Structure 1
Amino acid sequence: MRRKRYHRTGILYEEEDQNPLTGVANLFDVAMVFSVALLIALVMSYQLPELLSPTEDITIVKNPGQENMKIIVKEGQDIEVLNMTEQIGGGTGEALGTAYQLADGRVVYVPDSGNETST
C-alpha cells in the first residue's frame, strides 16, 4: 500500500495571498461609482436635471445684481459663460413689457398688451 505524501504549505504560501494589493483591487471602481452617484445627487438636489439632458436649452443667472454676476447659457452641447462687465450696451429699440421682482426674489415678466401679435 502506497501512502500519499502531503507537503506542508502554510497560508502565506498560497498564490492569492502573495499579492498584498489583492484586497484593494476594486477600490478605483468603487470610487468611480461613488463619484457618479454624488454628481447625480448634486444635480437632483439643485433640481436641474436639464443639465444632464443634451437636447434641452437652459439659462442660469448666478448672483443676480451683484458685481460677480454670471450668466450660464447651455444650448445643446455648447455651454457659454458670460461675465458681467462695466460696459454699457446701447442702441435703439422698443419696450416689450415690464419685469417685476417678487419678495422671494423671483422675476416675473409681463408683456405690454399693445405688443401682442396674433397667429
Structure 2
Amino acid sequence: MGGGEEHDIMGSVANLFDVAMVFAVALMVALVSRYNMTEMFSTQDFTMVKNPGKENMEIVTKKGEKIQRYTPSNDQSNAEGSRGKKVGVAYQLENGEVIYVPE
C-alpha cells in the first residue's frame, strides 16, 4: 500500500446498510402517503369500504389496535368471523354491526 491509507471494507458495508435503511423508510412513507393509508396509523376508529357495490367489495374496520377485514357474501359457513350477509344496501357483519354502502 503506497499511500499509507487503509480502506476499511467493513466500514463501507456499514455505510451501505445505512443508506439502504434510509431508502426503505423513505419508500414506506411514500407508499403510505400515495395510497392515503394514514388512517391506519391514527388512534381513531374507522370503517372503510373498498370497491362498494361490486363483487370484490371489502369492508375494513379498525377499533383500537385491532384491524378486521370483512368480505360480504351469502356463504355463512366460514368460522373465522370474516364474512357477513347482505341486507339490502347495508351489510350486517357477524358481530351484529350494520354498515351502509351507498350505491
Bin of the TM-score, shorter chain as denominator length: 0.5 to 0.7
The alpha-carbon deviation at position 66 of structure 1 amounts to 2.1
Bigger relative contact order, structure 1 or 2 (CA pairs below 8 A, ≥6 apart): 2
Structure 1 residues 17-45: Cα deviation after superposition (integer angstroms, max 9, x where no partner): 2x434323222222222222222222222
Cα root mean square deviation, aligned? 2.9
Match of 2:25 among 7, 24, 36: 36
- Segments of 4+ in structure 1 off by > 4 A? 98-101
- SS of the aligned residue for 1:26 comes to helix
Where structure 1 has 5 or more consecutive residues not aligned to the other structure, the ranges are 1-8, 91-97, 102-119
The alpha-carbon deviation at position 77 of structure 1 amounts to 1.0
Distance 1:31 1:50 in 2: 27
Where structure 2 has 5 or more consecutive residues not aligned to the other structure, the ranges are 76-84, 88-99
The alpha-carbon deviation at position 73 of structure 1 amounts to 0.9
Larger Rg: 1
Contact 2:47–2:61 (8 Å) recurs in 1 = yes
The equivalent of 1:3 in structure 2 is: none
How many residues align structurally? Answer: 82
- SS of the aligned residue for 1:28 comes to helix
Aligned-residue sequence identity (percent) comes to: 46
The equivalent of 1:27 in structure 2 is: 16
5 Å-filtered alignment, 1:41-60, equals: 41-53=30-42, 55-60=43-48
Match of 1:10 among 2, 14, 17: 2
Contact 2:62–2:68 (8 Å) recurs in 1 = yes
For normalisation by structure 1, the TM-score amounts to 0.51
